Structure 1
Amino acid sequence: MNKQIEIWYLYHSGFAVKIGQKLLIFDYYSNKAANSLPCLYNGVFNPEDFRDLDIFIFVSHIHHDHFNPIIFTWMEQNPNIHIIISSDVEGYRANANLTIAETEMSYVIDDIIIETLTSTDEGIAFLVKTEGVSLFHAGDLHWWHWDGEKETINKQMEYQFKTQIQKLENQHIDIAFLVADPRQEDFALLGLEWFLKKISCSHVFPMHFSDNYSIMERIDKISSSNQRSFIMHLISRRGQHFLF
């Protein structure tokens, strides 16, 4: 990876990634800025600000914390926007700049290659390759182990998660956005830890923690003890900007 990358944490599982003349936005959720100014540095995308870029918006599934229908109005404001949505998402009108993505499929849009994996909850996960950079956004693909759940269900979830992630084992991921959900308590980092042990990656961003930034301390500990070489980017606020 020899490109300069800029990443903004938007909220929950939402990120904006600038690579060259492209802006990739994943799982946009909250359209309310962290303060009065609507910009990426406050966790909000303003389509009027990026008319000089090619913009690709990815929606992993229909859950309200991963999808905001406002994205469909952006195509009317900015002709450079292309939206890629999971097939379970509803409420859209046909548009030449709209791609409906099914699970376990590959798509090519301009010079972007998109592969989808099957989520362990709803929808899909995205593996995106462009400008020599490989990005993985898990959506809700995660090891959803819950205290009090039937053991058979927890075991099935483990199997489904590992089956999907193993499909990435023979390639390097430059940037990975991975679930770390504090609601799972002691099991919150099962998926993230297993991914880091199995998959070669350079930069890792935790997500799906809403406003519970306290989980970053636990993430820092497990990433420090991992023997693979990667950078864990800890998050402390909406709009946080990363440059590398």
Structure 2
Amino acid sequence: MLVTHLFHSGVLIELDNHLLLFDYYQGKLNLNKEKPLYIFVSHRHYDHYNPEIFKLDHPHKTYILSDTLRHKYEANYVDIHQEYIFDDIKVKTLLSTDEGCAFLVETEKQTIYFAGDLNWWHWEGEPEKDNLWQKEIYQQEINSIQQPIDLAFVIVDKRQEESYLLGLQYFLKHVKTRYIMPIHYFGDYTITQQLQNEKLDNPYQAHIIPVHHRDETFEIF
């Protein structure tokens, strides 16, 4: 598959027979019009949802949007903790610890996890009960992933300071994953070098894809 990190959390995946676009916000889209395009939005926050997705020039578009975005546009709206079939794509939703949902997508013998805003959000100065809720819900949702993941998009947000690795580290230890692409860092690509210097507990030896700039494309086998 070809995987393009567009910007922030936006990613485009090109498989043999499908295009999957997640949480487009900014970035250059090169869309193969010979393959059907499936457009996912995890929730309505500005950095995950750009209404321009409804103007994309592509002949075969399917919109799969969090129910938090329900409005006048014709689309498929999904709720949390549900399973759906769209053509030959299986979609399962998880509960976000912020808003909306995360996605588990199965197609072409590949399983893809996209976090949206599902993360172990721990903020210094926040009430302890709020941070504890974040921990419990994040662990609950990640523990519900029973199958191996081929490609996972996991939040690594340096605004959390010393807690920025909580979500990634838990994911690495509890989900057998081949490739992980970090997301949600607002164009601060120093995150790549920082992660390379961390001593992560990575029992399944997931390969963490180093993103250096916006619109960077990787070929994954």
Asked if these proteins are the same fold (TM beyond 0.5), I'd say: yes
Q: Which amino acid aligns with 1:8?
A: T
**Mapped contact 1:103–1:116 kept (Cα < 8 A):** yes
**Mapped contact 1:16–1:23 kept (Cα < 8 A):** yes
Q: Which amino acid aligns with 2:14?
A: K
Superposed CA RMSD = 1.4
Q: Which amino acid aligns with 2:33?
A: R
Q: Which amino acid aligns with 2:5?
A: Y
**Which one of the candidate residues 174, 177, 181 is aligned to 1:205?**
181
**Which one of the candidate residues 69, 72, 82 is aligned to 2:62?**
82
Q: Does 1:132 align with 2:109?
A: yes
- Structure 1 stretches of 5 or more lacking a match? 31-42
| Residue aligned with 2:132, SS | helix
User: Scaled by the length of structure 1, what TM-score is found?
Assistant: 0.86
Q: Does 1:186 align with 2:162?
A: yes
**Mapped contact 2:93–2:104 kept (Cα < 8 A):** yes
Query: Percent identical across equivalent pairs?
Result: 36
Tell me the equivalent position of 2:45. 63
Supply the distance in 1 between the matched residues of 2:43 and 2:17 (Cα, whole angstroms).
26
Q: Which amino acid aligns with 2:46?
A: H
| Residue aligned with 1:50, SS | coil
Tell me the equivalent position of 2:214. 238
Tell me the equivalent position of 2:16. 20
**Which one of the candidate residues 100, 106, 110 is aligned to 1:123?**
100
Q: Which amino acid aligns with 2:67?
A: S
Supply the distance in 2 between the matched residues of 1:221 and 1:171 (Cα, whole angstroms).
29
**Mapped contact 2:90–2:107 kept (Cα < 8 A):** yes
Tell me the equivalent position of 1:161. 138
Measure how far apart 1:219 and its partner are. Answer: 1.9
User: Scaled by the length of structure 2, what TM-score is found?
Assistant: 0.95
| Residue aligned with 1:205, SS | strand
Measure how far apart 1:50 and its partner are. Answer: 2.4
**Which one of the candidate residues 69, 73, 79 is aligned to 2:55?**
73
How many positions carry a matched residue from both structures?
220
| Residue aligned with 2:68, SS | coil
Tell me the equivalent position of 1:39. none
- Structure 2 stretches of 5 or more lacking a match? none
Supply the distance in 2 between the matched residues of 1:51 and 1:211 (Cα, whole angstroms).
28
Measure how far apart 1:223 and its partner are. Answer: 6.3
